[in-house]
Structure 1
Amino acid sequence: MLKYILKRLGSTLVVLFLSSILVFFLVVHSGDPLEDLRESNDPDAPFQMEQRIHHMQLDQPWYVRYWGWLQGMLGCFRLSCDFGTNRDGQQLNPILMQAAQDSLRLVLIATIASIVLGILIGILAAIRQYSTFDYTVSFVVFFFFSLPTFWAAVLAKDYLAIHYNNWMQDGAEFTTGQIFFISLVLAIGVPLVAGGPPLRRLITGVAVGLFSAGALWYFDSTSFALSPRIGAIGLIVMALGLAVGFTALIAGLKNRQVLYTALTVALIGIVAYYATWDFLQDPPGGWFLLGALFVLTIAVCVVVARLMGGYAKGQATAVAVLTGALTSGLILLDHFMYHWPNMMSLKPRPISTIGSHSRRFTEDDVTWWQVNLDLLTQLWVPTVLMMLISLATYTRYTRASMLEVSRQDYIRTARAKGANERTVVLKHAFRNALIPLATIVAFDFAGLIGGTVIVERVFNWNGMGQLFITALQNVDPAPVMGFVVITGFVAVMFNLIADILYAVLDPRIRV
């Protein structure tokens, strides 16, 4: 395996090297970088032209300029990359770092969200093939997939940002008509999608309608949108619900050892919620500390599962890790909710439609939570947009892969041996269905990086896409090369990870 990984890394370097030569040659010969200064009436234009010629080395052949750029890239092997300067003489390293941080944050969140939702929906669609749920999901995901990105981005800005901000400024209140309409739509839609006998659909519709009306009335009466909280009671109920739910899904409630393991992890999470509350009000180290706590959470979950899991240690570990990870996510969400009113006091219209962050949240008197709430609200609209567009890929491939695997002999054998349907679907079918999905994830991640060019243009993000377009318009090769190297390296690395996952998912591939 190590030899294979080294070979792939070597081929990756060759691909990046050859593509960099081609891209550099095309950009250099795509136009005149001095065109704006030649047409300028500014008396200082000749001096500016000399400065640009010096910064861009326009008096040298293209291959000499490329060699100078390549020497800076070779410094990456010494962990001191030098991406050069743009046409104004500014160092590109800090500019590229900030742009890559904004773009990759957007792409990673959208990719993870679309993978999780797409796989879950695809599994359900495969289990209930040709049902109302299957047809509804197919229509919805293909509808979003067919939307032009630039047009969908404009609609998202209007409905998910501007209308939401207006609603927040109006007090975030639901009218009686809105509560009735939303409850009625859910009462009709959920039973149609869920399926089942007519009586069960009727009972489901009534229950969903009453629950929706009650929940909306509660949120409205407590001004939940302006002062949201999960709270201690909510966290206890959700943590215990996660423990029971994951146990039922993976091992079954009859497996008491797994159930007790999951409940123990949930109780540890509830205790940690109280123990770390004051400490996390101003977390030293920010995301680094939270990441370290998350790693500690996973380690504790694994230890508890190994000690209490008994003969079902594998299932206990899976249930404990999922319960602990989502419980820690709920704790983090509650902290963000706690600081939401403070962020609203600085930004009454919380979701902006321009930029990746607000300037007022870079001042020293703003707390860490307020800064990151601003970043998350800026991510909301473009992330949802990119997630919905790529959701169809994962949903349909998961559905098709699950249906193909479910017809295999070993699936019929598992059912004939008396394995319950949960074990057949999750343990036997789903793992083998993940093999083609590993390839799709790698290609889709690269596609989303390209899609950010349009999304960043619409939302005016200073990310990699905006940097790439501006550099192409200015015939400035250094920023374009930085875009190619960073995005190309990330895309190729995801393909490498996909190849490694093949061997993890299917041991026969290792041979």
Structure 2
Amino acid sequence: MTAFIARRLIISFFVLLAATFLVYTLTALSGDPLADLRQDQTPQREEKIAERTERMQLDVPIPLRYVGWLTAVAQGDFGTARNGVEVGTLLGQAVSATLQLVLAATVLAIICGVMVGIVTALRQYTGFDYTVTFASFLFFSLPSFWVAVMLKQYAAIEFNNWLRDPTIPLAVIVVLALVAGVGWAAVLGGDLRRRAAAFGVAAATTGGILAYLSFTRWFADPRLGFAVVLVVSLAAGLGATTLFAGLRARDPLVAALTTAVLGSVLSLALDPVLADPTWFLLIGLALVTVVVSAAIGYVLGGLQRRQAMSAAVLTGLFSAGLIFFDHFLRAFSGYSDLVLGRPISTIGARTPNFEGDFWQLAWDATGHIALPSMALVLISFATYTRYTRASMLEILNQDYVRTARSKGLTERSVIVRHAFRNSLIPITTLMAFDFAGVVGGAIITEEVFGWQGMGRLFSEGLREVDPTRVMAFFIVSGTAIVVFNMIADIAYAYLDPRIRLS
């Protein structure tokens, strides 16, 4: 393993070295960095030209200029931009903004895409499979700039206007109820009678909930409340038990449900503590949640102690997340008043000079990041769904999967322990490229939403013929590509023991 990593690092170093020279040369030759000053009509025109020429070393041949830049970078100095600002400062701000924007979107797209891809593979050629396939191809074919503009118009501007009087028209309730009914009927499948029952229950439930939310004007002052936290936590306990042990396993089920009830009850006692917390406090509470949940699983787990601990910990973390989300929602009304009723922003990463408590600052960050993240998730979700579905279908037809079923293993064990792990190998490659691309930013999305990230740094560097900014982008993104591809190669050996890194 050590020899493999060392060899890859040496090869990657020389590849990056050659690539940096090529990119630096092409950027320097792409235009005239003095073009704007040549049209300057002020008496200081020549002084400005001389100053920029000296700052960018335009009187030095490009190869020597590259050597000077490379020497400075080796010492940790990324140079000075065309406007005199330190590139290292611009790079730090750009990396931070890009990670906030793209990292969350990529992780969410991976989790949702892989989960939906597995379900569509297990339910091949059903209504749910056809529905997801159609939606995936639709999302994948949408131009990112068009999606971003539509989100700005309808998910921000129109939505902010609607929040002034957040009542849902009857026609919208009916349409959404019908859509929900059709969706659940497609998901559950079965014969016509079962689908009709699913359609009726889902449509009636959705319509009732929307009518209640509209009548109570819930969107003006949203919150979950103890009852919702308890019910959803119990449902999460059932799901976690199904995942790790199966619903027939009594002890893990008791441990998970006990954790859900305890977490929901403790949420009432934690109200004063969570009024204005810090990230340090929240991380500490999360660690306590893991320890207490694991202890409950250990005590109540019986002969299936390991599965009980896993189900209890997952349930505890889910309940903690619900409690966090409930307090987050409670702060919406106060934050909306502070920003004059426009909580969903269309530009930038922060509201200038905004001050507030922990939850209001969290809403400010969420209101700015929601739309660009949604634009990225819609497109990436389709890719992961299709890749996961294809990979799972190929694995499910393998001989060892049929052997596992013939041995009497439960379907959950066959899918989770045998099929899913092997289907991750091609998906790992896609994840490596995506996470490497995260550092490079999303140029179009950042331009539309005015996000000062890596993509904006790169595009402005090209537009102004500023090699220092372009090279700062290239160094970070190129290094990320090398590192994540190496991680993917190592992950192959872990996922499939037959693969050797020799």
Q: Could you state the TM-score of these two structures normalised by the residue count of structure 1?
A: 0.91
- Are residues 1:23 and 2:23 paired? yes
* Deviation of 1:48 (Å): 1.7
Pairing partner for 2:100 from 105, 110, 130: 105
CA contact (8 A) 2:99 2:438 kept: no
Who is 2:253 aligned against? Answer: 259
Instruction: Label 1:439 to 1:300 Cα distance change in 2 as closer, same or farther (>3 A).
Output: farther
Pairing partner for 1:342 from 315, 334, 353: 334
Pairing partner for 2:140 from 119, 137, 145: 145
Gaps of 5+ in 1: 76-80
| Residues in 2 aligned to 1:383 and 1:54: alpha-carbon distance in whole angstroms | 41
* Deviation of 1:9 (Å): 3.8
CA contact (8 A) 2:103 2:438 kept: no
CA contact (8 A) 2:126 2:186 kept: no
- Are residues 1:318 and 2:310 paired? yes
Who is 1:496 aligned against? Answer: 486
- Supply the AA of the counterpart residue of 1:60: V
SS in 2 for 1:508: coil
CA contact (8 A) 2:289 2:316 kept: yes
Deviates most, 297-306 or 351-360: 297-306
Instruction: Calculate the aligned-residue CA RMSD, in Å.
Output: 2.2
* Deviation of 1:140 (Å): 0.7
| Residues in 2 aligned to 1:4 and 1:321: alpha-carbon distance in whole angstroms | 37
| Residues in 2 aligned to 1:279 and 1:460: alpha-carbon distance in whole angstroms | 36
| Residues in 2 aligned to 1:485 and 1:121: alpha-carbon distance in whole angstroms | 35
* Deviation of 1:292 (Å): 4.8
Alignment of 1:180-219 (within 5 A): 180-219=174-213
* Deviation of 1:441 (Å): 0.9
* Deviation of 1:372 (Å): 2.1
| Residues in 2 aligned to 1:275 and 1:491: alpha-carbon distance in whole angstroms | 47
| Residues in 1 aligned to 2:2 and 2:450: alpha-carbon distance in whole angstroms | 43
Pairing partner for 1:269 from 256, 263, 266: 263
Deviations 1:7-30 (A, max 9, x none): 434444333333222211111121
Aligned residues: 500
Deviates most, 439-448 or 370-379: 439-448
Alignment of 1:108-119 (within 5 A): 108-119=103-114
Who is 2:350 aligned against? Answer: 357
Instruction: Label 1:435 to 1:321 Cα distance change in 2 as closer, same or farther (>3 A).
Output: farther
Alignment of 1:413-432 (within 5 A): 413-432=403-422
| Residues in 2 aligned to 1:90 and 1:448: alpha-carbon distance in whole angstroms | 25
Pairing partner for 2:470 from 474, 480, 483: 480
Instruction: Label 1:82 to 1:418 Cα distance change in 2 as closer, same or farther (>3 A).
Output: same
Who is 1:125 aligned against? Answer: 120
Who is 2:219 aligned against? Answer: 225
CA contact (8 A) 1:386 1:448 kept: no
| Residues in 1 aligned to 2:71 and 2:94: alpha-carbon distance in whole angstroms | 22
Who is 1:37 aligned against? Answer: 37
Pairing partner for 2:232 from 232, 238, 256: 238
SS in 1 for 2:498: helix
| Residues in 1 aligned to 2:427 and 2:199: alpha-carbon distance in whole angstroms | 35
SS in 2 for 1:381: helix
| Residues in 1 aligned to 2:404 and 2:496: alpha-carbon distance in whole angstroms | 18
Deviations 1:114-172 (A, max 9, x none): 11111111111111111111111111100110111112221222222222112112x11
Who is 1:164 aligned against? Answer: 159
Instruction: Label 1:298 to 1:64 Cα distance change in 2 as closer, same or farther (>3 A).
Output: farther
SS in 2 for 1:280: coil
Who is 1:176 aligned against? Answer: 170
Who is 2:66 aligned against? Answer: 66
| Residues in 2 aligned to 1:68 and 1:329: alpha-carbon distance in whole angstroms | 51
Who is 1:83 aligned against? Answer: 78
| Residues in 1 aligned to 2:453 and 2:232: alpha-carbon distance in whole angstroms | 37
Instruction: Label 1:181 to 1:382 Cα distance change in 2 as closer, same or farther (>3 A).
Output: same
Instruction: Label 1:278 to 1:485 Cα distance change in 2 as closer, same or farther (>3 A).
Output: farther
Q: Could you state the TM-score of these two structures normalised by the residue count of structure 2?
A: 0.93
* Deviation of 1:33 (Å): 0.9
- Supply the AA of the counterpart residue of 2:329: M
Instruction: Label 1:62 to 1:496 Cα distance change in 2 as closer, same or farther (>3 A).
Output: same
Deviates most, 101-110 or 179-188: 179-188
- Are residues 1:410 and 2:400 paired? yes
Percent sequence identity is: 45
* Deviation of 1:374 (Å): 1.2
- Supply the AA of the counterpart residue of 2:349: S
* Deviation of 1:367 (Å): 1.9
| Residues in 2 aligned to 1:289 and 1:6: alpha-carbon distance in whole angstroms | 40
Instruction: Label 1:16 to 1:303 Cα distance change in 2 as closer, same or farther (>3 A).
Output: farther
- Supply the AA of the counterpart residue of 1:246: A
Deviations 1:68-105 (A, max 9, x none): 33234324xxxxx3322111221122222121111122
| Residues in 2 aligned to 1:501 and 1:125: alpha-carbon distance in whole angstroms | 25
Who is 1:78 aligned against? Answer: none
